[in-house]
Structure 1
Amino acid sequence: MNAVLLAVGVMLVLSLLRINVVFSLIIGALVGGLTAGLTVTETIDAFTSGLGAGATIALSYGLLGGFAVAISKTGIPELLVGAILKLVKREGDSQKTGLAKVLVFLLLLMMAIFSQNLIPIHIAFIPLLVPPILKVLNMLQVDRRLIACILAFGLITPYMFLPYGFGAIYQEIVATQMGLSGLEIALDEIPKAMVVPALGMVFGLVMAFILYRKPRSYKQTEVEVEELQVNVKKSSVIFTIIALIAALYVQIETDSMIAGALAGITVLYVTGALKWREADQLLTEGMRMMAFVGFVMITANGFAAVINATGHVESLVKASAELLAGNVSLAVLVMLIIGLVVTMGIGSSFATIPIIAAIFVPLALELGLSPLAIIALIGTAGALGDAGSPASDSTLGPTAGLNVDGQHNHIWDTCVPTFICYNIPLIAFGWIAIVFVL
């Protein structure tokens, strides 16, 4: 049996059974390695050799979590939540309740989109913004599965389609890996090829609003509007804005989230916006909040290293190509599903591209696909699985914010809803784009 399919399958089944994701990834990697004929020692060596690649990401998220919590203590998020709460009457003014929902949805959607392109801080905004808004969501009885889908849309669609921020990184990887695989392309061709797949994500977002539109009750903590009307000093607002600008500028200049987070924290320290006697506790609290994400990302890199070491991705594609020789439509569908399986396992669209491009590009050329169609194939196959993967930061991030009160399950409330809403439409729209449009 193919080691990649078995490894990913074991990991997903264990995760669905509510086994810890880190533990599920380790067991899946061991099963995959042994199935491929590697010894236990070789599998463990491959796994541990890949762990280092995730250390930088883990430290980045830890520092960004600390930075986010520090900012949250300035009182600015409470001002935002207080303004929204004023629109909600406990007696049930449906017009104001509807307006409050729209504002919350738009705020989270725009922040998620901006976090990928305009202000490339990725999921660091979630622990800053989402926990205070949970009070509003509880009052409005909003299903948190819908919020997870909104956040996932904003975290994934922009890098697929827009060539800025993380989108520039993703599209550069696509272009580079396709060139190394024998097909040179221009970067400006990628957004053109990804228009239809991106529309699949839009379709999925609409589907999420339909599926999770009904009210859902959570344990309610009574919150008076007056409790959130904190007195925020103008200087704190100014210094917080300066810290955010400093973090963004340094991150862009150095291409390092670690350096950006350190710059922002330093500004808060130096200006006094972050009190010295509280700083250690606050930063530790933020790092602890993001620690789970960091551990999963480290483990996912070890899992990916084992998948690469098996060599079974290539054999999976070749076997599929032989089975489907001459049937372009079915071959494209199989390649998209393979991309889904690989990304679901390793949790990173960016890391999936180098794995699949070397195999998919020659096969696609042999099938007679156009360059734009091949771009759509690689770009879509890479993005597939980012939504729904237990190891993806596009699912881990929303869970980190939505589960601060223990009422949002990572697998059943984030991974399963985002898988249904985005992977199925993305396969359909990607397949249509590759086979019929491009």
Structure 2
Amino acid sequence: MNAVILAVLLMLGLSISRVPVVAAIVVSAIAAGLSSGMDLQTTINSFEAGIGAGASTALSYAMLGAFAAAMAQSGIPQFIATKFLGASADAGKWMLFLALGLAAIMSQNVIPIHIAFIPLVVPALLGMMTKLHIDRRAIACVISFGLVTTYMILPVGFGGIYIHEILLANIELAGLAVEGVNIFEAMWLPALGMCLGLLFALLVSYRDPRSYQHSEEHHSNTHSEQINLKPLLVGAVAVVLAFAVQLFTNSMIIGALSGFAIFSLSGVLQWRSVDDTFIQGMRLMANIGFIMIAAAGFANVIQDTGEVTTLVNATASFVGGSAALGALLMLVVGLFVTMGIGSSFSTVPIIATLFVPLSLQLGLSPLAIVALVGTAGALGDAGSPASDTTLGPTAGLNVDGQHDHIRDTVIPTFLHYNIPLLVFGWLAAMVLSS
């Protein structure tokens, strides 16, 4: 069996069996190296060489956790929660879906902080979600939709990076001129598939109420009549400063640290409790950080095996001259590669050099090739245990230990987004080549 397929299936199987995700990633990376012909020491060296790439991201999320812990004491999230509770249960649920969906969309462009908003907002809303009996799997689907669909189709912020600097740039490097290609025309069908997946999740799969235990330790008091103005003002200043510093320095670490400093220096956090709050917040995001570090090592092993090229070559030999079968199998290959690596941004440079020549050989049009590579890269981003698109929602929804990463985030987002992306990505390749 191809090492990429073996590693991804093993990682998913171990994760579903409740093996810790970090352990599942490490074991799967070793299995990938050994099955590809690498010896154990070479595999370990490759893994360790790759983990450094995830260190910056891990520290960024740890700092965000500290900022989130300080933010929880400002009263801003609790103040927002009272507005949702002021509405009826059904209206409050849909208002929450809309608010978090818009926050996820704007986190990609208007205020490009990606998943940084999740630990700042979601944990303080858990008490309100519990009172409204909202199924947290629906929340995970809403947030994942906003994160993925936005960068797929809107060439602004992270979408601009994905579309122009990664997708189109790597397709051009692979030998296909993309000047004049309309990205909306290429990607609107895959984006439609994402929309249908979201609607099915909210209206069918997770429409029924779901009960969670109420924990005073993690759920804020959203009924408080007393609003302390100073923490609210300090919190607002801290948020604005953190976002401004991040945009200016392009560093999530420095931005989060700046926001935390405002809470400390203003007196909202008592000086004797600053260290405890900081450590508590870092602990909140520790799991996601270690998973991102392990995922970077896994990605490096996958690339060093050379098995992605082998997988694509086997696909080319199997399909013969069938454009329909070739497009479908390339999407499936993209799904496996992205689920293993955990990032569409890292997947496209790997698959573009292989998919473009094969697509040209099959007679696909430039628009169809852009749609195919763009969809193949995004496939698996929602649904991978190692993707920040799934790790982010889990980090916010599992603060009280009642939201399982695999069963409540990974599997729901995989089913509701990767299946529609496969169907509508293939349909786009066929329609745009006709």
Matched, 1:383 2:372: no
Matched, 1:131 2:127: no
Matched, 1:82 2:76: no
1:260-409 paired onto structure 2 within 5 Å: 260-409=255-404
Structure 2 CA distance for partners of 1:226 and 1:185, relative to 1, 3 Å: closer
Maintained 8 Å contact 2:16/2:406: yes
Maintained 8 Å contact 2:181/2:367: no
Question: How many Å apart are 1:273 and its aligned residue?
Answer: 4.0
Maintained 8 Å contact 1:204/1:425: yes
User: Aligned Cα RMSD in Å?
Assistant: 1.8
1:52-131 paired onto structure 2 within 5 Å: 52-87=52-87, 96-131=88-123
Maintained 8 Å contact 1:62/1:287: yes
Q: Is the partner of 2:291 in helix, strand or coil?
A: helix
1:233-281 Cα distance to aligned partner (Å, 9 max, x none): 2x43333223222222222222221222223223333444444332222
The letter for the 1-side match of 2:208 is K
Maintained 8 Å contact 1:67/1:265: yes
Question: In the alignment, which residue of structure 2 is the partner of 1:204?
Answer: 197
Give the TM-score normalised by the residue count of structure 2.
0.95
Maintained 8 Å contact 1:10/1:28: yes
Q: Is the partner of 1:228 in helix, strand or coil?
A: coil
1:318-342 Cα distance to aligned partner (Å, 9 max, x none): 1111110111001000000100001
In the alignment, structure 1 segments of 5+ residues that lack a partner are 88-95
Question: How many Å apart are 1:425 and its aligned residue?
Answer: 0.3
Maintained 8 Å contact 2:64/2:119: no
Structure 2 CA distance for partners of 1:76 and 1:224, relative to 1, 3 Å: closer
Q: How far apart, in 1, do the equivalents of 2:280 and 2:316 lie?
A: 50
Greater CA drift, 78-87 or 16-25: 78-87
Q: How far apart, in 2, do the equivalents of 1:431 and 1:224 lie?
A: 45
Q: How far apart, in 1, do the equivalents of 2:262 and 2:222 lie?
A: 30
Q: How far apart, in 1, do the equivalents of 2:355 and 2:201 lie?
A: 31
Question: In the alignment, which residue of structure 1 is the partner of 2:150?
Answer: 158
Question: How many Å apart are 1:226 and its aligned residue?
Answer: 7.0
Q: How far apart, in 1, do the equivalents of 2:262 and 2:130 lie?
A: 34
1:28-47 paired onto structure 2 within 5 Å: 28-47=28-47
Matched, 1:231 2:227: yes
Maintained 8 Å contact 2:133/2:211: yes
Q: Is the partner of 1:194 in helix, strand or coil?
A: helix
Question: In the alignment, which residue of structure 2 is the partner of 1:179?
Answer: 172
The letter for the 2-side match of 1:12 is L
In the alignment, structure 2 segments of 5+ residues that lack a partner are none
Structure 2 CA distance for partners of 1:363 and 1:219, relative to 1, 3 Å: same
Q: How far apart, in 1, do the equivalents of 2:255 and 2:344 lie?
A: 23
Question: How many Å apart are 1:426 and its aligned residue?
Answer: 0.7
Greater CA drift, 338-347 or 120-129: 120-129
Identity among equivalent pairs (%): 52
1:230-269 paired onto structure 2 within 5 Å: 230-233=226-229, 235-269=230-264
Matched, 1:410 2:410: no
The letter for the 2-side match of 1:8 is V
Structure 2 CA distance for partners of 1:332 and 1:263, relative to 1, 3 Å: same
Give the TM-score normalised by the residue count of structure 1.
0.94
Q: How far apart, in 2, do the equivalents of 1:401 and 1:228 lie?
A: 22
Maintained 8 Å contact 2:74/2:234: no
